[in-house]
Amino acid sequence: MNLAIFGGTFDPIHSGHVAAAVSVADAFAIDRVLVIPSGNPPHKTRGGQTDYEHRYRMVESACSADARLTPSRIEAPGEPGQRHYSYDTIRRIKRQFKFDDPLRFIVGSDAFAEVRLWRRWDDVAREVEFIVVSRPGDRSEEPAPEGIRAQWRKGPMNPASSSEIRHRVKIGGSLLDMVPADVCDYIREHRLYRPF
C-alpha cells in the first residue's frame, strides 16, 4: 500500500484541500491519504481554532468525496497543553500502519517554505518524502533544502481559503463554491464561524 499523510488545522477543510489530496493520489498512485486535523498545533495559539470535534467531523464529511481519503484522529487532543508535532505523528503512523516506502507527506508550498523552523525538521526529512502542493499564483518551484526529498505538484485552480470561508460566514455569504456541500451543511447546522 502506498500511503500519504495530509495534515492541517482544517478550520474548515475546503474544496481546495480535497482537490489537492485527490490530485496527489492520482499523480503518485497513492492508495490511501490520511487526512489529519491537528489537535493542538504548535503554530496556533490555544483556543485560536474551532473545537477539534467540529473540525474532525468536517474532515470526515469531506473525505466521502473519494474512497482513498481517510479521516484520522491520530492527533486528537490529549493532555491539556499537549502539542502535536509532525515528527511524533509520523513515528506513530509508522508504528500503526503497514505500507510501502516512502511515506509521502502532502504539504502546501507556504508551509514547506518554513520547514526548517519545524521541530526536529531534519528527522522529519529523513522519515518522509514531501509532496509540495503549490497554490494558484505561487512562484515557480524552488529547490528543496539540502537533505529533503521533495516533489512538486501544481495545486488545483481553486482559490478557496479557510480564512475567506470564515469571513464569508460572518457576512452571510455563500460557501458552495468553496466547501463540499456536506461541509457547508455542517457549518450551518452547528452555526460555526458566526460572530455571535
Tens of pLDDT, residue by residue over 95-121, are 999 999 899 999 999 899 899 999 999
The per-residue pLDDT of the chain, averaged, comes to 90
Q: How many whole angstroms separate alpha carbon 29 and alpha carbon 33?
A: 11
Say if 194 falls within a structural domain. no
Task: Answer yes or no: is 175 within a domain.
Answer: no
Asked whether residue 163 is domain-assigned, the answer is no
Is residue 35 included in any domain, yes or no? yes
Poorest-pLDDT segment among 27-41, 80-94, 132-146 = 132-146
* Domain assignment of residue 39, yes or no: yes
Q: Is residue 181 in some structural domain?
A: no
CATH of the domain at 92: 3.40.50.620
Q: Tell me how many domains the chain contains.
A: 1
Residues 12/147, Cβ–Cβ less than 8 Å? no
8 A C-beta contact, residue 133 and residue 109: yes
Count other Cβ atoms within 10 Å, centred on residue 49. Answer: 19
The verdict on residue 20 lying in a domain is yes
pLDDT, one tens digit per residue, over 55-83 is 999 999 999 999 999 999 999 997 666 78
Helix (H, G, I), strand (E, B) or coil at 42: coil
> Average pLDDT, stretch 174-180?
92
Q: What is the mean pLDDT of residues 123-151?
A: 84
∠ at Cα 152 (64, 89), nearest 5°?
Answer: 55
How many CB atoms within 10 Å of residue 1?
9
Of 3, 192, 165, 155, which Cα lies nearest the Cα of 93?
A: 3
Q: Is 176 a domain residue?
A: no
> What is the radius of gyration, based on Cα positions, of the chain?
16
pLDDT digits (tens, 9 = 90+) for 85-97: 999 999 999 999 9
**Domain extent for 153:** 2-158
Q: For residue 21, what is the enclosing H or E element? A: helix 15-27
Strand order in the sheet with 32-37: 69-71, 32-37, 2-8, 100-108, 128-134, 150-154
